[in-house]
């Protein structure tokens, strides 16, 4: 019924071929060196061939393989530039497109989900998909009331494919680790597996998107398309046009980059405070720049798509994040260390020097120390290298810290967002967003004084 390779044996064979391909190319590279080609040229060709095979397979398989590829794609900023170049194009392809499923399969799903007269629900329906992602693809259409809509159709067998892929990928996670310096790939794969049931549930996605659309309905900066119709494997939402963030990254003006970066940071921190939900899939394919903000056509708003993965945070982002960030900025080593111990970031069996912990954290929070910070790939690479080098004190200390389960998704979303900001090369007033939206960042006495002044 579907072109999605669902049989476990087929998908396993494709994924299992990846590490064999890596080994084969390493042998090929050695042979090229023996006959006299330079290490630099051989290394560049090796990286390019590896990237082409890896992301071709991940994109073709869709499912969990593509999901994993998209999760990796936001971290390309951390790669050394001589390595990042060959990967960048292959990674970007996963942010916007994948091979489509046949029209007959789409029609069969729509008939099963919406009934034999499904055509009558639409004034127009485009068979060619407008976008394709890991578990479904989107078709542009016109709803029967005249609204332009996006129709997301879930791939048949998507759940089976997701679990099969991620299980297989976890078996050779160590081989994939070098793709992103300083990042442990195995917990990322485990966390993606934990979210499979939510990702497949269009009912949960519709609830999360509706909550955001209602809260941001009149927002001057953020646009969330409303939900029009939902059933098990089909989700219909209002259509929004705009410039995909991947295009802003590749071809945007500096003004567009800065505006996109500011709004992305604003959405990251304001969303949980306003809705109790954290959008947990911040890769560029899920964002658009829309003209016509509060200052007219030359201004831009941020369109946000895909609420299939969210973190439920009824009280907003945890207050200890803001408190510890503020204490770190203030140089309160003892206070930060005590709070990290209380929250489980330092296990009871571990003892660390508070000053060393402060030294570890300060470079990471550099963007919050000044009024406006320019996120760059070089800055991201320096942070990744500092944490990934086994010879560095930062690496040794980082290995002894713990990430409590309650903070796992928040941590990944934050890192992913920073990765996108570095791809944009955006100058962002991050401190302003933290002060406005992050609980605990502004001390209570200062916050009360600001509220009193505002009322006056």
Whole-angstrom Cα distance, residue 364 to residue 367? 8
Q: Which of 47-51, 53-57, 196-200, 353-357: highest mean pLDDT?
A: 353-357
Q: Where are the alpha helices (DSSP H) in 276-330?
A: 319-329
Q: How confident is the model at residue 138 (pLDDT cuts 50, 70, 90)?
A: very high
**Which residue, 176, 196, 216, sits at the end of a domain?**
196
Q: In this predicted structure, what is the pLDDT of residue 264?
A: 98
Q: Where are the alpha helices (DSSP H) in 97-218?
A: 103-114, 158-171, 173-176, 185-194, 196-200, 202-215
Is 108 in contact with 127 (CB distance < 8 Å)? no
In 72-106, which positions are buried (b, 16+ CB within 10 angstroms) versus exposed (e)?
bbbbbbbbeeebbebbbebbbbbbbbbebbeeebb
Structural domains counted in the chain: 2
The residue segments making up the domain with residue 43 are: 8-99+159-196
Q: In this predicted structure, what is the pLDDT of residue 78?
A: 62
Q: How confident is the model at residue 44 (pLDDT cuts 50, 70, 90)?
A: very low
Q: What is the token pair recorded at 27?
A: 């042998």
**Least confident residue range of 122-126, 290-294, 368-372, 430-434:** 290-294
Find the mean pLDDT for residues 147-162: 86
- Using the predicted structure, report yes or no on whether residue 322 has a pLDDT greater than 60: yes
On whether both 189 and 336 belong to a single domain, the answer is: no
pTM of the predicted model, to two decimals? 0.79
On whether both 47 and 192 belong to a single domain, the answer is: yes
Find the mean pLDDT for residues 175-199: 65
Whole-angstrom Cα distance, residue 49 to residue 244? 27
Q: Which residues touch 147 (CB under 8 Å, ≥6 apart)?
A: 228, 238, 239
- Using the predicted structure, report yes or no on whether residue 22 has a pLDDT greater than 90: no
- Using the predicted structure, report yes or no on whether residue 372 has a pLDDT greater than 80: yes
- Using the predicted structure, report yes or no on whether residue 234 has a pLDDT greater than 70: yes
On whether both 183 and 331 belong to a single domain, the answer is: no
* Residue 190 resides in a domain: yes
What's 151's DSSP letter? Answer: E
* Residue 135 resides in a domain: no
Whole-angstrom Cα distance, residue 411 to residue 414? 5
Find the mean pLDDT for residues 395-411: 88
On whether both 189 and 40 belong to a single domain, the answer is: yes
Percent helix, strand and coil across the chain, each to the nearest 5? 60, 15, 30
What are phi and psi for residue 79, nearest 5 degrees?
A: -75, 145
Mean pLDDT rounded to a whole number for the chain: 80
Whole-angstrom Cα distance, residue 287 to residue 261? 11
Tens of pLDDT, residues 282-303: 988 899 999 976 666 568 999 9
* Residue 147 resides in a domain: no
* Residue 338 resides in a domain: yes
* Residue 243 resides in a domain: no
Q: In this predicted structure, what is the pLDDT of residue 183?
A: 55
**Which residue, 145, 174, 196, sits at the end of a domain?**
196
* Residue 166 resides in a domain: yes
Q: Which residues touch 446 (CB under 8 Å, ≥6 apart)?
A: none
Q: How confident is the model at residue 67 (pLDDT cuts 50, 70, 90)?
A: low
**Which residue, 167, 196, 225, sits at the end of a domain?**
196
* Residue 107 resides in a domain: no
Q: Which residue has the higher pLDDT, 139 or 170?
A: 139
């Amino acid at each position: 019924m579907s072109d999605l390779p669902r049989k476990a044996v087929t998908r396993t064979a494709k994924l299992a071929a990846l590490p064999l391909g890596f080994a084969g190319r390493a042998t090929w590279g050695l042979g090229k060196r023996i006959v006299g080609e330079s290490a630099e040229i051989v290394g560049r060709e090796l990286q390019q061939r590896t990237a082409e095979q890896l992301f071709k397979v991940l994109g073709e398989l869709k499912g969990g393989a593509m999901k994993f590829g998209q999760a990796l794609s936001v971290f390309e900023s951390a790669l050394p530039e001589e390595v990042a170049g060959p990967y960048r194009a292959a990674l970007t392809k996963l942010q916007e497109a994948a091979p489509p499923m046949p029209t007959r399969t789409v029609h069969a799903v729509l008939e099963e989900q919406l009934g034999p007269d499904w055509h009558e629900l639409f004034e127009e329906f485009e068979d060619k998909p407008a976008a394709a992602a890991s578990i479904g693809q989107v078709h542009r259409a016109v709803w029967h009331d005249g609204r332009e809509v996006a129709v997301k159709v879930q791939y048949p067998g998507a759940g089976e494919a997701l679990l099969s892929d991620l299980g297989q990928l976890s078996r050779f996670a160590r081989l994939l680790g070098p793709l992103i310096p300083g990042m442990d790939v195995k917990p990322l794969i485990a966390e993606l597996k934990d979210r499979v049931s939510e990702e497949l549930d269009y009912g949960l996605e519709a609830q999360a998107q509706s909550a955001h659309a209602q809260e941001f309905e009149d927002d001057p900066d953020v646009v969330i398309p409303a939900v029009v119709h939902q059933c098990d494997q089909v989700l219909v939402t209002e259509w929004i046009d705009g410039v995909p963030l991947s295009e802003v990254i590749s071809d945007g003006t500096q003004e567009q980059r800065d505006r996109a970066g500011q709004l992305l940071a604003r959405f990251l921190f304001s969303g949980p405070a306003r809705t109790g939900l954290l959008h947990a899939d911040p890769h560029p394919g899920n964002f658009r720049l829309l003209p016509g903000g509060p200052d007219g056509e030359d201004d831009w708003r941020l369109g946000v798509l895909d609420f299939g993965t969210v973190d439920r945070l009824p009280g907003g982002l945890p207050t200890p994040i803001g408190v510890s960030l503020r204490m770190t900025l203030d140089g309160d080593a003892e206070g930060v260390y005590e709070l990290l111990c209380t929250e489980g970031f330092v296990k009871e069996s571990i003892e660390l020097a508070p000053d060393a912990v402060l030294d570890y954290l300060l470079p990471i929070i550099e963007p919050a120390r000044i009024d406006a910070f320019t996120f760059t790939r070089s800055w991201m690479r320096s942070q990744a290298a500092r944490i990934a080098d086994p010879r560095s004190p930062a690496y040794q200390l980082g290995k002894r810290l713990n990430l409590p389960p309650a903070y796992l998704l928040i941590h990944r979303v934050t890192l992913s967002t920073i990765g996108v900001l570095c791809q944009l090369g955006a100058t962002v007033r991050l401190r302003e967003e933290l002060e406005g939206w992050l609980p605990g960042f502004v001390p209570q006495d200062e916050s009360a004084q600001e509220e009193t002044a505002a009322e006056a």
